[in-house]
Structure 1
Amino acid sequence: FDRGWSWIGRKRDISDQEWGVWLALINRLIPCIFIHHFFSQIIKVNCNIMILCSWYILSSTAFLYYYMGSLSALCILLQPSFLHIITYKCSKHAAWLIHVSFLFVIHILKIPNGTFQSLLGLDDEQHYILTLTMCWIHLRSISHNMDSIDKKVLHSNSFIEKLAYCLYLPTLFSGPLILYQEFVESVCMIFTIHRYWNCQKLQAFVLNLIRYIFWLYFTEFLLHFIYVNAIQYHPQVAQNLNPWALYGLGYCMGQFFLNKYVVIYGISKTLCNLDDVKAPLPPKCIARIHLYSDMWKYFDRGLYKFLIK
């Protein structure tokens, strides 16, 4: 717990590591995101797709260097590069074997206070963000690799486009997962249709941003009263609840999980929309899902599309 908002006078539940780290990260990311979008718009008006992809790589690398240092930025750059080299001419089965093997490497690297963290000189928050980013990049590398093997995207072996896709700043740290085919189609469409900023687009951006910021603060407000994450450290409290209170607690845990990803994915999608990159819709409210088979289909739509490919 922390002291919470002073005007409420109650402690706030800060037990969810992902939520806390994301809030701290987004505060640092805000100015870089707007610089990213501003120069992206200039490039779209005056340049071509390769310059735009190069800018995507540069802007993300610059933020990684600023936030985690040169070694971490280099590590992030090397991961998709290395995977691209060793899977460039592989069959699908060999590629899957390589990707699954690399997951075990990431699992070892994410060990807290381990050699990897010490070598890079990262604190716990930076180490968490780095390994989380590596997981997202790995998913994108798989998406690129499978589309390349299936020849679903023209020039799908373009290394610059792949690196831009893996390092795209609005989704770099937290998703949602955009399939490689959809990312390339979105970027190519920008130069075909010439969709530039206008009052309507900026108005939609501001309204959606206000919408998701409201849910962010609403979720933070609720964490002063409903300690759905902290209760995992106090199981005796749950044991003493009557059935109705226990059912309510269970629902609130699901609702917090939903709110968290509505905010994270919603803000990412809003930023992608401003950049004319097609991103999956935010999660559907769990109270409106009546079949568990529909849960991931409508909750994490990008991951669902990835899994059924």
Structure 2
Amino acid sequence: MQPQEEHGLLKSSLPVLAWGLGRLFCSWCLAELMVHLMYMHAIYSSAPLLGAVSCWTLGGLALAQVLFFYVKYLVLFGVPALLMRLDGLTPPPLPRCVSTMFSFTGMWRYFDVGLHDFLISGSFH
């Protein structure tokens, strides 16, 4: 590769890197805030607390736990996706937000499209 081409490739990948790192940092900060301010892990290990709350509260806590999983997954998915973009590859689409899912089969098919394709066909398309 010639120096001019390398400079153009580097110039085009800097915004991708900045945007990707910004998204990862925001998702990571949100996950950390959920752990430290909402006590995501401590709430679910306290059986007496869970037994004392109403069914509506349990439903809200379950939704919060699922959304917490989604945010953590975005961070874990975002690192390899960013590396793929920097290499000029197109990663599978980001996982779909779990609060928009209304069926378990939809969750299986559309939450992580790349993982679903890999498990069904044995390879990525």
Where on the TM-score scale, by shorter chain, does this alignment land: which range? 0.7 to 0.9
Show the counterpart of 2:64: 252
Counterpart of 1:232, as a letter, is Y
RMSD, aligned α-carbons: 2.0
Q: Give 3-state SS (helix, strand or coil) of 1:280's partner.
A: coil
Identify unmatched segments of 5+ residues in structure 2: none
Number of aligned residue pairs: 117
Show the counterpart of 2:47: 235
Question: Structure 1 stretches (4+) deviating beyond 6 angstroms?
Answer: none
TM-score of the aligned structures, taking structure 1 as reference length: 0.35
* Structure exhibiting the larger radius of gyration computed from Cα positions: 1
Residue 286 of structure 1 contacts residue 295 of structure 1 at CA under 8 Å; is this kept in 2? yes
Residue 272 (structure 1) shift: 1.2
1:18-33 equivalence runs, <5 A: none
Could you tell me which of 88, 104, 114 is aligned with 1:302?
114
Residue 228 (structure 1) shift: 2.5
Residue 17 of structure 2 contacts residue 86 of structure 2 at CA under 8 Å; is this kept in 1? yes
CA offset digits 1:165-210 (Å, max 9, x no partner): xxxxxxxxxxxxxxxxxxxxxxxxxxxxx9x624333112211210
Residue 31 of structure 2 contacts residue 71 of structure 2 at CA under 8 Å; is this kept in 1? yes
Residue 260 (structure 1) shift: 0.4
1:28-47 equivalence runs, <5 A: 45=1
CA distance in structure 2 between the partners assigned to 1:223 and 1:308 by the alignment = 34
1:48-67 equivalence runs, <5 A: none
1:63-78 equivalence runs, <5 A: none
Residue 239 (structure 1) shift: 0.7
Q: Would you say 1:203 and 2:10 are equivalent positions?
A: no
Counterpart of 2:116, as a letter, is Y
Residue 304 (structure 1) shift: 0.3
Identify unmatched segments of 5+ residues in structure 1: 1-44, 47-193
Residue 219 of structure 1 contacts residue 256 of structure 1 at CA under 8 Å; is this kept in 2? yes
CA offset digits 1:279-308 (Å, max 9, x no partner): 222211111222321112222222200222
Residue 95 of structure 2 contacts residue 112 of structure 2 at CA under 8 Å; is this kept in 1? yes
Q: Give 3-state SS (helix, strand or coil) of 1:276's partner.
A: coil
Show the counterpart of 1:276: 88
CA distance in structure 2 between the partners assigned to 1:202 and 1:214 by the alignment = 18
Show the counterpart of 2:99: 287
CA distance in structure 1 between the partners assigned to 2:13 and 2:109 by the alignment = 28
TM-score of the aligned structures, taking structure 2 as reference length: 0.81
